[in-house]
Structure 1
Amino acid sequence: MTVADWLTVLTTTDAPEKAEALARGAVAARVAACAQISGPVVSVYRWKGEIETASEWQVSFKTTGTRYAELETYLRREHDYETPEIIATPVDRGSREYLEWLERETAG
């Protein structure tokens, strides 16, 4: 298993102000170079034996593979869900300038 150089990390939350707080905090801490908020989206899932439907806001963070663990730690600490969605997808390609900017912004 190898660590990707760059990642998009997704989480969801139940209010736009919570999404913005997570996004701003991650960028301020330099565990993400940027974050986009989309929503509301409708999520359907099974929780504690029941099928639930909820409006949520998605937050997509851009980070490096070396900063992923710190971003995950931040999300686990700051998120108010018992089991927050935290999914990382590798970025295979991107413009050189953008990826260099991403690395600079997360270097601290």
Structure 2
Amino acid sequence: MNHLVGIILTSVDDASIAKTLARGLIEQQLAACVQISAAGTSIYHWDGKLQESSEYYLSIKAPLSRRNEIISWLQQHHPYDTPEIIALEAQAAKAYADWVEKTASVSNP
């Protein structure tokens, strides 16, 4: 299996914001699919203090060719000053990789 797709990860603290980001990425045809996971707990340092917050996690599936566009789009639309945006490459089944490529391609009407 040598079919690659991009997975971009981010998180937000509000379910409606998560849905807004997901819908925006899909409507702009930047991504083929965005999965929003139920709220989980994030523990991190911020402003010199240990923080704990509830966050919704977005897993964005897209062609590797759209990765930089998605990162730029998220940087413009994400409500956090310093959002978590992590881009990964993942092997996928050929049929799924083909669907991702077709669904989020620039030429897809």
- TM-score, normalised relative to structure 1: 0.92
Residue of structure 2 in register with 1:86 after alignment: 85
Look up the equivalent residue of 2:81 and give its one-letter code.
E
Aligned partners of 2:27 and 2:57: how far apart in 1?
Answer: 19
Secondary structure of the structure 2 residue equivalent to 1:30: coil
Listed one character per residue, the Cα deviations across residues 21-50 of structure 1 (whole Å, up to 9, x for unaligned) are 101100111111110000210000001111
Aligned partners of 1:29 and 1:66: how far apart in 2?
Answer: 15
Look up the equivalent residue of 1:45 and give its one-letter code.
Y
Residues 37 and 57 in structure 2, CA contact (< 8 A), matched pair in contact too: yes
Considering only aligned residues, what root-mean-square deviation do their CA atoms show, in Å?
Answer: 1.2
Residues 30 and 107 in structure 1, CA contact (< 8 A), matched pair in contact too: yes
Runs of 4+ in 1 over 2 A off after TM superposition: none
Listed one character per residue, the Cα deviations across residues 59-104 of structure 1 (whole Å, up to 9, x for unaligned) are 0000111100100011001100000000011112x22111101001
Residue of structure 2 in register with 1:20 after alignment: 19
| Unaligned 5+ runs, structure 2 | none
Look up the equivalent residue of 2:21 and give its one-letter code.
L
Aligned residues: 104
Residue of structure 2 in register with 1:104 after alignment: 102
Secondary structure of the structure 2 residue equivalent to 1:91: strand
| Unaligned 5+ runs, structure 1 | none
- TM-score, normalised relative to structure 2: 0.91
